[in-house]
Amino acid sequence: MSENPNLDRRQFIVSSLAAIGGALVVGTRPDFAGAASADATVWDKAAGAGSAEFTPWILIAPDDTVTVRVTTPDIGNGTLTQAAAFVMEELGTSWDRIKVEQASPNRDFKEDGVYSKVGGFLGYFSGRSTGPARMATYLQVAASARERLKAAAGHKWGVPPSEIEASNSILTHVPTGRKVRFGEMVAKAAAITLDREPKPKDQADWTFLTMKAPAKLQIPEIVNGSAVYGMDVRLPNMVYAALRQSPVHGGKLKSCDFNAIKNMPGIHAAVVVEPGKPRPSDLKPPFPFGVTTAQSAVAVIADHYWQARTALDAMPVEWDDGPGSHWKTTEQMNAAAFAALDKEGEKIEKSTGDVEAALKNAGKVVERRYLTPYCEQAPLEPLNGTALVTKDRVEVWHPSQHSQMGFLVAADETGVSPENVFFHQTYVGGGFGRRAFSDDIRMVVAVAKQFPDRPVHVIWSREEATRQGRYRPLMAAKFKAVLGEDGLPTAFHARVSGGPGFFVLGLPDTALASGVVPNVRIESQVVPFHIMTGPYRGPGYNSNTFFVETFIDECAIAARIDPLEYRLRLYGKWGDIGWTKCLKEVAAKAGWGQRLPRGQGRGIAIGNWGGDGKPEAGTTCATVAKVEVSKSGQLKILQIDVAFDTGRVLNRDAVATQLEGGTLFGLNMSLNEELNIKDGRIVEGNYDQYPMIRMADVPRSLHVHFGGLSNNARFTEIGEPPVGPIGPAIGNAIFQATGKRVRTTPLRKHDLSWT
Amino acid sequence: MAVSLTINNEVVTVDADPSTPLLWVLRDHLGMTGTKFGCGIAQCGACTVHVDGRAMRSCQFPLVSAVGTHIRTIEGLSPDSSHPLQRLWIEMNVPQCGYCQSGMLMAAAALLRQIPKPTDDDIDQYVTNICRCGTYARIRAAIHKAAEAMPG
């Protein structure tokens, strides 16, 4: 990234295009008299007459409205709002003047990666709103725009810009009190060249970032139903498609009888999608195109979705299941994953010290096996998307988690030049990784291109979305530790196995394997399962933290040391004060050590996401769960406390929402989630079979604590970290309550009864 | 078959098969997309509307049954987003992705109509919708605050 991103080209263009609409939405949040706003429907809308584009990231209109372009789709984590907050810090505007909109991948392509070169492959990826490169870019372009506005006003009044202040979108000449609005100066400011770009403020001088906590800008649209998600796209002449793919992943359509349904009301066509061979491509997608491969599918197209759905259900369809059907049951697959742990792994993920020697001289050895099942991200908005394909042009409207990837997939699937592909990012009804690979976009375009010249809105039923996932992989682990005289591990030997695409992330990069234990060996083994996998909130980490932190608890019990005390001693060796701060904070707030009645217990666990095996990096999260288990084995979560260390925090409330939500996501993952396999097919289809926690299942005491923050100079991610420790914290609490140790999830399947 | 429906105090005419779920009539025939499709089997509650003042999951409620009732959707919860729940949803930063929140708001508004000062147990019993982002604690807090603010 250059020091002054995107200031070197195409800067400060005055737009003379069609007029812009746009009303500001007034919020009621007490901190903010007015609120900034979001508009996910401004699809490649032309800029207002006389507006000045202060780099492709910021545009200021004559009425003072500041439009901030955001690459990252907002999946509910506040990426749009955080971008606005960065600009707010430096520009000298007011919050109610700021609007945000999604940046165009088409423009990015035509203008040599004008957006995506900031942040690399994560440039357009959702979730990374606070990456250092992104933050630096917004702060810089806002500061540069402000200085140009000041220079323009200085020129108008014949005074030095240093005598001018920018505040609330007004430029004031301090000595004389003369004032002019930003909007009156934008045309002149756009023509100004500065000798050098200004340096953004020191963090110590911030007045908005870290200090204010604005709510998400799109909430006013959400609460009146006007927010447009992918599912809500409505276009002239649009038709709907209902979709069915091979129930066994990798199978093929054998036959379908369109004649049986063609006279049903509203029906236009049935189209068949067959997975194509990857074609040679010079498009350089951020993920390999292989992960986007379409499955064998049939779609019925009709005037309305319900007509399409009803006809699809009535259409005779036969499948050739293919080799995946050899996996008859979940138990067979679990056994295969466990069996893979009995031989040396095909890949050595990490090796330090001498594990063999340590094992030979072993005193006390703890050896355990663990397993976590396939899980579906299950975002509440089922997969869907809309595409209009014509001979030489493609338009897509989609709730993506990676709009640049989606844009390139649309070009690849149609063979249309990317210059003529237009990707319109909508709001996203949940992502959790499911919408990152763009396989859904490939399917939408593959259907729509067979029904050209009309927009086709392709909708997965909930059952279809559940059974055609890119799941959290099935993973099994065998851990062995040698405990020294002080009870702490002197050696750690791990084997993990899983289907193709499984993630070891969250194991070799743990503190445990990165310096806390002197002798470490980690091996991995792929088992040839046919089930498709992909990223699921906290990939790898979400399974591995369950394994590691359950195992640490078992080591603590074997060493007869309190689980909190054991972790303080163990992780006290890790050169990162945040770990012990988080443990102490969460334990104190949870009342650790206070006596509980029989059948109740507390458990603790800690993890780090994104630290890549280095101290003072990534986000550390520690969780204490208090549970009650009835004699008959009914489990109730009574209390959850969470402490974390992101270094510092830009928006306290935004961070709290992610910690609350991520903890409940991990709670459901651990308690409830499991996909089963029968004759190669996914059994579960809808929420009646794949249960979700609801209001009554959420402990009324769920608290996020800020006392674990180290104040280390970093702002790290918060969406994934809480997903890891909640499961093992509950499992460890169950052990305290009942003496029963759970080593697999979902926890609901265990008999927890006690006497 | 063309039928008349009363939605948000307006009479509209719809030409759809009488078995079509009200959800799809609202979304695809009338373009009222605030009511969401989440599961199709009345599990998740994203499609919650009011039928004669009571919360109803519209994905399992056929058009023919809607005739002669008063239907209220998220678009008609208030004319200007001024319902106390809507205001508090913004103030308390309740939604994350937001997709379930139309249904949550409609379920919560129906609860407050029936029980103006609900207990935690009332909330558990009446608001049974799914939020995959995990906004439950804030929804509960906002309902209690709205109950305090509303004349009851």
The string of DSSP letters for A259-281 reads GGTTTSTTEEEEEEE-PPPPPP-
Q: CB of A220 within 8 A of CB of B90?
A: yes
Share of chain B above pLDDT 70, in %: 99
What is the assigned CATH class of domain A230-322+383-459? alpha beta
Q: What CATH number does the domain containing B70 carry? A: 3.10.20.30
Are A381 and B36 in contact (CB < 8 Å)? yes
Which of B25, B60, B76 is the last residue in one of the domains?
B76
Sorted by sequence, the CB contacts under 8 Å of residue A706 that are 6+ apart come out as: A643, A649, A652
For Cα atoms A56, A58, A61, give the angle at the middle one, nearest 5 degrees.
120
How far is residue A34's CA from residue A96's CA, in Å, rounded to a whole number? 5
Strand spans (E) along A321-418 = 347-352, 364-372, 384-390, 393-398
Nearest-CA distance B93 → chain A (Å)? 5
Residue whose C-alpha is closest to residue A483's, from A545, A550, A552: A552
Q: Residue A318 belongs to what H/E stretch? A: strand A317-320
How far is residue A400's CA from residue A286's CA, in Å, rounded to a whole number? 14
Is A442 or A30 the better-scoring residue by pLDDT? Answer: A442
DSSP A748: G
State mean pLDDT over A237-264: 97
Is A295 or A29 the better-scoring residue by pLDDT? Answer: A295
Residue B63 class from Cβ within 10 Å (0-12 exposed, 13-18 middle, 19+ buried)?
A: buried
Give the per-residue pLDDT at A39: 62
Give the per-residue pLDDT at A48: 63
For Cα atoms A415, A416, A417, give the angle at the middle one, nearest 5 degrees.
115
Topology of the domain comprising A331-374+472-749: Aldehyde Oxidoreductase; domain 4 (3.30.365)
Are A657 and B37 in contact (CB < 8 Å)? no
Total domain count for chain B? 2
Are A686 and B31 in contact (CB < 8 Å)? no
Is A54 or A617 the better-scoring residue by pLDDT? Answer: A617
Q: Are residues B92 and B32 in the same domain?
A: no
Q: Are residues B91 and B59 in the same domain?
A: no
Q: Are residues B130 and B70 in the same domain?
A: no
Domain boundaries for CATH 3.30.365.10 within chain A: 13-223, 230-322+383-459, 331-374+472-749
Are A462 and B29 in contact (CB < 8 Å)? no
> At A49, is the pLDDT very low, low, confident or very high (cuts 50, 70, 90)?
low
List chain B residues with pLDDT less than 50: none
Give the per-residue pLDDT at A129: 61
Question: b vs e for A28-38, b when ≥16 Cβ sit within 10 Å of the residue's Cβ?
Answer: bbeebeebbbb
How far is residue A267's CA from residue A721's CA, in Å, rounded to a whole number? 47
**pLDDT of A70 above 60:** yes
**pLDDT of A743 above 60:** yes
CA A716 → CA A137, A621, A722, distances in Å? 17, 12, 13
First to last CA, chain B: 43
Give the per-residue pLDDT at A40: 55
CA A457 → CA A205, A361, A411, A469, distances in Å? 49, 65, 18, 19
DSSP A488: S
> At A82, is the pLDDT very low, low, confident or very high (cuts 50, 70, 90)?
very high
Using N-to-C axis directions, what is the helix angle for B84-91 and B101-114, rounded to 10°? 130
**pLDDT of A522 above 60:** yes
**pLDDT of A27 above 50:** no
**pLDDT of A11 above 70:** no
Chain A residue with minimum CA distance to B141: A700
Which of B27, B59, B76 is the last residue in one of the domains?
B76
Q: CB of A423 within 8 A of CB of A106?
A: yes
Q: Are residues B93 and B44 in the same domain?
A: no
State mean pLDDT over A623-645: 98
Are A223 and B89 in contact (CB < 8 Å)? yes
Question: Letter for the amino acid at A375?
Answer: C
**pLDDT of A515 above 70:** yes
Nearest to B102 among A27, A225, A382 (CB): A225
Contacts of A219 in chain B (CB under 8 A): 89-90, 93-95, 98
Give the per-residue pLDDT at A47: 58
Contacts of B127 in chain A (CB under 8 A): 695
How far is residue A728's CA from residue A5's CA, in Å, rounded to a whole number? 43
Give the per-residue pLDDT at A126: 75
Edge-first strand order for the sheet with B48-51 is: B10-15, B2-7, B70-72, B48-51, B54-57
Q: Which two tokens stand for residue A374?
A: 């396939």
Q: CB of A301 within 8 A of CB of A456?
A: yes
Domain that holds residue B37: 2-76
* Sequence-ordered alpha helix ranges (H) in A430-471: 439-448, 462-467
How far is residue A543's CA from residue A669's CA, in Å, rounded to a whole number? 10
Are B73 and A665 in contact (CB < 8 Å)? no
β-strands A297-302, A267-273 pairing: antiparallel
B84 has a chain A CB within 8 A of its CB: no
How far is residue A29's CA from residue A42's CA, in Å, rounded to a whole number? 25
How many Cα atoms occupy the beta-carbon half-sphere of A704 within 13 Å? 22
What is the assigned CATH class of domain A13-223? alpha beta
DSSP A229: B
pLDDT in tens, A94-131: 999 999 999 999 999 999 888 888 877 777 887 676 67
Q: CB of B66 within 8 A of CB of B32?
A: no
Tokens 């099942």 sit on residue? A373
B79 has a chain A CB within 8 A of its CB: no
β-strands A456-459, A384-390 pairing: antiparallel
Q: Which residues pair with A66 in a beta bridge?
A: A60, A98
Sorted by sequence, the CB contacts under 8 Å of residue A618 that are 6+ apart come out as: A608, A609, A610, A611, A612, A716, A717, A721
Residue whose C-alpha is closest to residue A492's, from A620, A353, A610, A338: A353
Which of B58, B76, B94 is the last residue in one of the domains?
B76
Chain A residue with minimum CA distance to B104: A223
Q: Which residues pair with A337 in a beta bridge?
A: none
Q: Return the number of CB contacts < 8 Å for A and B.
A: 190
Are B28 and A306 in contact (CB < 8 Å)? yes
Are A462 and B38 in contact (CB < 8 Å)? yes
**pLDDT of A672 above 60:** yes
The pTM is what? 0.95
Q: Are residues B50 and B72 in the same domain?
A: yes
**Three-state secondary-structure class, residue A253:** strand
Nearest to B34 among A225, A265, A700 (CB): A225
Q: Which two tokens stand for residue A355?
A: 């594990």
Share of chain A above pLDDT 70, in %: 93
Give the per-residue pLDDT at A286: 85
Q: Are residues B71 and B119 in the same domain?
A: no
Q: What CATH number does the domain containing B99 carry? A: 1.10.150.120
Nearest-CA distance A80 → chain B (Å)? 12
**pLDDT of A250 above 70:** yes
**pLDDT of A278 above 80:** no
Question: Letter for the amino acid at A10?
Answer: R
First to last CA, chain A: 63
> ipTM value of the model?
0.98
How far is residue A645's CA from residue A618's CA, in Å, rounded to a whole number? 8
Neighbours of A204 (CB within 10 A): 6
Are B34 and A224 in contact (CB < 8 Å)? yes
> At A3, is the pLDDT very low, low, confident or very high (cuts 50, 70, 90)?
very low
Q: Are residues B68 and B95 in the same domain?
A: no
